[in-house]
């Protein structure tokens, strides 16, 4: 079972986490949701299309202009509070690696801290424990926040992913984070080349077998673009194919840009697996 905010999810549920970037320089939307009203409209649309979690980020993952903790908080804290006011039942996640930002967004109503940089600030898990919120424990290959990988090597990439993410998850629980609110993430593209991310996808069932709910952040990433030689705006098909494979292998939460398309893929895989009835079943019965 996964418990986040007011929601509980069973082992066969597939959960969508919709991305809402409060940045002017996001690699995908180039600042489309930097201002409040477009961002709130994005939240409303994502919820209507089937997202249970809204993931709010104030700093883009890649290199770029320096963003202080104060500026990151300015971009996210008030917005978290407004989303909580308008959408009381939605699960609010904040993508941050900084404990001080984590504390501020938890005060504003966040339910989940998405630590995409693999414990770069160990205090973030302590914040999650103090507020009783969830935590995403990610493998980033030891990379510093906002850096790109360069000639990274692993003897066994999945062994390293498991060692790091399970270790972070166990530390979080030892600190007091509710066990049922901790997820692990292989960290596609983070501290990895394309072959590493493909292998991590191929072996996701090993993460699932650890017993921790698995979150994957696949949406329009470079490993998809390089695999198919497609620019950012032409990676949806590759993303959805990777989503289908990840769902079949047991990943539970999907951090995405395109919610409606992802919902259809996840529902279709769940029905093939026998965990979801068809929405309509008339063929051959009339």
Give the Cα separation of 56 and 274 in Å (integer): 33
Residue 130 backbone dihedrals phi, psi, to 5 degrees: -65, -35
Position of tokens 């504003």? 108
CB 171 within 8 A of CB 128: no
CA contacts within 13 A on the Cβ side of 97: 18
Q: How many whole angstroms separate alpha carbon 136 and alpha carbon 118? A: 9
Catalytic: 60?
A: no
User: How big is the chain by its Cα radius of gyration, in Å?
Assistant: 18
Spatial separation of the C-alpha atoms in residues 200 and 216, rounded to whole Å: 10
Whether 255 sits among the annotated catalytic residues: the reply is yes
Give the closest residue to 78 by CA, choosing from 56, 111, 45: 56
Catalytic residue from among 42, 192, 221, 235? 221
Instruction: Provide the 3-class DSSP secondary structure of residue 91.
Output: strand
Which of 245, 139, 181 is CA-nearest to residue 53?
181
DSSP label of 65 = S
Residues annotated catalytic, as ranges: 221, 255
């Amino acid at each position: 079972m996964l418990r986040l905010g007011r929601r509980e999810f069973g082992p066969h549920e597939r959960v969508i986490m919709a991305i809402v970037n409060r940045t002017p320089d996001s690699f995908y939307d180039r600042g489309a949701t930097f201002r409040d009203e477009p961002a709130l409209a994005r939240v409303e649309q994502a919820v209507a299309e089937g997202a249970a979690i809204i993931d709010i980020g104030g700093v883009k993952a890649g290199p770029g202009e320096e963003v202080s903790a104060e500026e990151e908080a300015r971009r996210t804290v008030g917005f978290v509070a407004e989303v909580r006011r308008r959408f009381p039942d939605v699960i609010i996640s904040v993508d941050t690696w900084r404990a001080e930002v984590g504390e501020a967004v938890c005060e504003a109503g966040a339910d989940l801290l998405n630590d995409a940089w693999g414990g770069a600030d160990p205090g973030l898990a302590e914040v999650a424990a103090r507020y009783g919120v969830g935590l995403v424990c990610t493998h980033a290959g030891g990379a510093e926040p906002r850096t790109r990988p360069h000639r990274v090597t692993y003897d066994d990439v999945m062994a390293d992913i498991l060692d790091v993410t399970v270790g972070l998850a166990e530390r979080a629980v030892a600190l007091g984070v509710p066990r049922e609110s901790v997820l692990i993430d292989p960290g596609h593209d983070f501290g990895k080349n394309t072959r590493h991310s493909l292998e991590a996808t191929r072996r996701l069932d090993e993460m699932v077998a650890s017993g921790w709910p698995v979150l994957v952040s696949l949406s329009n990433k470079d490993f998809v673009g390089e695999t198919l030689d497609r620019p950012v705006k032409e990676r949806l098909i590759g993303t959805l194919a990777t989503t289908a494979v990840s769902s079949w292998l047991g990943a539970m939460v999907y951090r995405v840009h395109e919610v409606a398309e992802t919902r259809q893929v996840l529902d279709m895989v769940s029905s093939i697996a026998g965990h979801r009835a068809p929405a309509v079943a008339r063929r051959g019965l009339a």
